[in-house]
Amino acid sequence: MKNRILCCAAVLLGLVLGGLFTMPQGWTAELGPKETVDKHLSALKDNLFEDAFDYISKGFADGQTKQEWADSTRELYTSANVKVMKFTLYPAKIEDDTAIVPNILNASDMFNKEGSIEYELYHLVNEDGVWKVDRQELLFEDSQVKEWFPDVK
């Protein structure tokens, strides 16, 4: 019996190390705040609004279901002709169960067809052990921009 258990353990170990046994589909390692914002913005950039919903907090969703939020965000992006062209995320500032991720966004819309640069802060909360985007803040004051993006002129 002992040899049989050792044999099974050796086979299982070989499968894991050989890559033949994988984690269940949908399993992912926990994302940090910066990676969460990256996934959220990447989904918005690709107009994958249902995917973008997976990275927002309950408060950000404001009681909407995934489909309701995706549909209303899609409608907003379509009616305003919003296109996320590029984003540059900076390291997160984490304090307990909250975090802030600075971002420089290059996007266009019906008023800025050539695109504009926006300085943003993404505020995140940790919900049940998972980082979620809770709100987005646009920075307008030069002093705020310099505080969060000191390398920008």
Does an H or E element contain 132, and which? strand 130-139
Measured CA to CA, the distance from residue 97 to residue 120 in angstroms comes to 20
Residue 25 lies inside a defined structural domain of this protein: no
Residue 144 lies inside a defined structural domain of this protein: yes
Count of structural domains within the chain: 1
Residue 21 lies inside a defined structural domain of this protein: no
For 79, the domain range is 31-148
What is the chain's pLDDT, residue by residue, as a tens digit (153 residues)?
555 544 333 333 333 334 344 333 333 458 999 999 999 999 999 999 999 999 999 999 999 999 999 999 999 999 999 999 999 999 999 999 999 999 999 999 999 999 999 999 999 999 999 999 999 999 999 999 999 999 887
Residue 16 lies inside a defined structural domain of this protein: no
The pLDDT of residue 129: 94
Under 8 Å between Cβ of 37 and 124: yes
Residue 37 lies inside a defined structural domain of this protein: yes
- CATH number of domain containing 135: 3.10.450.100
The pLDDT of residue 10: 38
Take residue 30 and report the two structure tokens written for it.
């926990």
Residue 66 lies inside a defined structural domain of this protein: yes
Pinpoint the alpha helices (H) of 19-111: 33-45, 49-53, 58-61, 66-79
3-state DSSP assignment of residue 147: helix
The pLDDT of residue 30: 85
Residue 7 lies inside a defined structural domain of this protein: no
Residue 75 lies inside a defined structural domain of this protein: yes
